[in-house]
Structure 1
Amino acid sequence: MTALIDLPEAQPAGQPPLRKKQSGGGLGKYLLIRFTLIIPTIFILVTMVFFLMRLTGDPITAALGDRLPPDQLALRIHEAGYDRPIFVQYLEYLGQIATGNFGRTISDNLLISDMLATYGSATLELAINSLIVALAIGIPLGMLAAYKRDRWQDATLRVLAISFYAAPVFFAGLILKLIFSIWLGWFPVAGRANTGTEVAMASLSAPTGIYWLDALRSGNTAAFWDIAQHSVLPAVALGLLTAGIFLRLVRTNVIGTLSKDYVEAGRSRGVSEYRLLTKHAYKPALIPIITVMGLQIALLLGGAVLTETTFEWKGLGFQLAHYLTARDFVAVQGIVALLAVIVAFTNFIVDVIAALIDPRVRY
């Protein structure tokens, strides 16, 4: 019996060979789609924030209604345009956002764009520090839990991960302050740095606003050490929240990777479990960490409100709590809009990194 063999299609002489069409899209198409999705994401978030803030009425009345006589209050409302139809205000707000104009705060008459630039870098610094702490704790402990699977070390670490995630950020911050600041005196109680260090950082030419980075750029080791001491407790208090997620995620993925065929083949050749863990199962298990890191940035920014208030870390979270107390909803609206933009772009960057590391993400 003659076997049936698939033969390549005949091609005219001098023509390049036909190429099989690949399924899916390439990296460029994937990144274009992901970047395009940023626009509707920001639009939806900004729209929700605008109308939620307007549920309480106009911002002038909410902030100053009990401090101004009725005639002056009506004048302020008219000057700010809050007596116009709500959709007219909404369209005007979108136009202002598009040009980077977030308006002025009602309680202290500051340009919101200046306030965001001043305090946004502090929140970014805290988020970076906390993410470093989360990765430094979550990844090694997750690998250890997978290595000691179903033993007492694994059970202990799983309980620890749940405790990290379940503990309120402000409670963890207060416990850390009590132990390491008041009882042991190892770290400062609050603030980003001493007054002298803050003055030195503000006097630098073109500062980034991230204190430890500015201290490194200027070569000021004393300032860097002071900033590091102030950063430890806030970063640990907020970083533990995400460390618990990373710990469980790494454990689950490492256990799954250790059961793969290529790992079993290495085990059959006598490769030690430690080498299989560190050389073969480690890197594939980190890909899910990268893909969820964007969501964790949002979690860190949300937790920054309580962390900054607990440690008097003057960032956007600290200012957000201040303006909520003052019922300055214009300032609150600007801060939340900026945080939405940061989260959207952070998720895009994480998608880019994940696509570069794992080609399967692109399809």
Structure 2
Amino acid sequence: MSEGSIQGMPIDGDSQPKSPVKTKAKKNRISSGFFRFVVTRFLLIIPTVFILVTVVFFVMRATGDPISAALGGRLAPEELQRRIHAAGYDRPLIVQYLSYLSDLLHGNLGTTLTDNQPVSSILTQYGAATLELSILSLIVALVIGIPLGRLAARYRDRAQDAAVRVFAILCYATPVFFLGLVLKLIFSVWLGILPSSGRSSLSSTIQFDRLVSPTGLYIIDAFQLGNMQVLGDVLLHAILPALSLGLLTAGVFIRLVRTNVISTYTSGYVDAARSRGVSERRLLSKHAWKPALIPIITVMGMQIALMLAGAVLTETTFEWKGLGFMLAQYLKARDFVAVQGIVILIAIIVSVVNFIVDIVSAMIDPRVRY
């Protein structure tokens, strides 16, 4: 055997043991890259929230100080000026802004002007109601939007597809408050089978008041009570609000699922699977469906923001006492301190949800590069 061949053998032999090392190094690079990606996305939340806080602060001051806006005309001029001075609203605007940022860093969101409550307690008290409504509405949107979107994609350009698309347009185009009023008229007034307002009946509310550590999420609190009658009452009250808000997002999901499933359904690898004799049902459920999930998850973050905005009108329509309902009440009272706190919390929630969606999308989408 020649020297060249002898020298070549170890080279070929070395290539096998080195491949796991290379694979491990590649995994380490991916892990470190993913970690940098997560950290970068998380740090972007800070300037986003900062910009939103700044915009909200100066917009709220565009009409003057909050005390004059809320109480002007109801107090004597001397008393009004005394309160303005006591609250520090007669200082230069930049000084008020820096003071507000300092208070935010210490967790102080201020005190409402109309009912003299800490804004943080308002957020704690009513935030659970909005969270519960948003979760139920998202479930409605997913349960209705995803199956109908798949159905429309499977029967593309047929009668079923046309009917589903019309339904999606109606869901998306109908104002949420108008849809809520129509549902109340049908199911509460005409049929009398569902409650028209509130989160629960008076008897259930009395039961919740007896809890030592209520969560504010009535469904969970009903399980804490161990009372299925209370749980049924809570779910009956939640049907119409969740349906009104959920159908708005369901219309988006239907069109998104349909478009993306059709796109993947006509791709090359699906045609290859079809040529191997794979059934159409399996092509839809296995080969075309999973890749279509990626843009759906990406858009879901934006839909959460849309849902929170729609919660204001939904909660007002059904007197669902959450953050949206309270935001409408404080806007009517021109209590800009309370409005400012609620809007900032919603902005933080939207930023965090989009951060989570970005991470999930990066984990499931092979096209994302770290």
TM above 0.5, yes or no, is yes
Partner of 1:348: 355
The answer for the alignment partner of 2:107 in structure 1 is: 100
Change (3 A) 1:16 1:263: closer
What is the percentage of aligned positions where both structures have the same residue? 62
Encode CA deviations 1:95-115: one digit per residue, 9 max, x unaligned.
Answer: 111122111100111111001
| 1:257 matched residue in structure 2 | 264
For 1:286, give the aligned amino acid: L
- Summarize the Cα distance change of 1:359–1:32 in structure 2 as closer, same or farther, 3 Å threshold: farther
> Residues 8-23 of structure 1: matches in 2 within 5 Å?
19=22
Q: TM-score, normalised by structure 2?
A: 0.91
Partners in 1 of 2:209 and 2:157 — Cα distance? 52
1:145 counterpart residue number: 152
Q: Which residue is equivalent to 1:173?
A: 180
- Please say if residues 173 and 237 of structure 1, whose CA atoms lie closer than 8 Å, have aligned partners that are also in contact: yes
Task: Give 1:75's aligned residue.
Answer: 82
The 10-residue stretch of structure 1 (117-126 or 153-162) with the greater mean CA deviation from structure 2: 153-162
- 1:281 and 2:288 correspond: yes
Q: State the partner residue of 1:60.
A: 67
CA–CA separation in structure 2 for the residues paired with 1:259 and 1:206: 54
Q: Specify the alignment match of 1:3 in structure 2.
A: none
Q: How does 1:33-44 map to 2 (within 5 A)?
A: 33-44=40-51
Matched, 1:196 2:203: yes
Structural mapping, 1:1-363, within 5 Å? 19=22, 26-363=33-370
Shift of 1:19: 4.6
Q: Provide the rounded CA distance (Å) in 2 between the counterparts of 1:16 and 1:270.
A: 40
C-alpha distance after superposition, 1:163-220 (max 9, x if no partner)? 1111000000000000011111121010001122123224323322111122234432
Alpha-carbon distance in 2 for matches of 1:336, 1:278:
41
Aligned-residue offset at 1:270:
2.0
Flag the 1:362–1:180 CA change in 2: closer, same or farther, 3 A.
farther
Q: Which residue identity lines up with residue 251 of structure 2 in the other structure?
A: G
User: What's the offset of the Cα at 1:328?
Assistant: 0.6
Amino acid at match of 1:174: L
Q: Return the offset for 1:51.
A: 0.2
Q: Give 1:158 deviation, angstroms.
A: 1.2
More helix by percentage: 2
Partner amino acid for 2:249? T
User: Does structure 2 conserve the Cα–Cα contact (< 8 Å) formed by 1:133 and 1:239?
Assistant: yes
Instruction: Compute the displacement of 1:26 (Å).
Output: 2.4
How far apart are the structure 2 equivalents of 1:63 and 1:113?
19
Amino acid at match of 2:271: E
CA drift of 1:291 comes to 0.9
Matched residue SS, 1:177: helix
**Structure 1 residue 354 displacement after superposition:** 1.9
Q: Distance in 1 between matches of 2:276 and 2:225?
A: 53
Distance in 2, matches of 1:211 and 1:229, equals 12
Report deviation, 1:269: 2.0
Moved more, 99-108 or 141-150: 99-108
- Distance, in Å, in 1 between the alignment partners of 2:262 and 2:340 is 44
Give SS of 1:26's match.
helix
Counterpart CA distance in 1 for 2:204 and 2:369 is 46
The Cα shift of 1:274 comes to: 1.4
Deviation at 1:276, TM superposition (A): 1.0
Alignment check: 8 A CA contact 1:30 1:362 kept = no
Deviation at 1:129, TM superposition (A): 0.7
Q: What's the TM-score, normalizing by structure 1?
A: 0.92
SS in 2 for 1:127: helix
Q: Which moved more, 1:43-52 or 1:262-271?
A: 262-271
The CA deviation at 1:16 is 7.2
Cα distance in structure 2, aligned partners of 1:194 and 1:187: 12
What is the identity, as a one-letter code, of the residue corresponding to 1:245?
V
Two-structure CA RMSD over aligned residues (Å): 2.0
Distance 2:368 2:178 in 1: 38
Matched residue pairs, number?
352
Supply the AA of the counterpart residue of 2:360: I
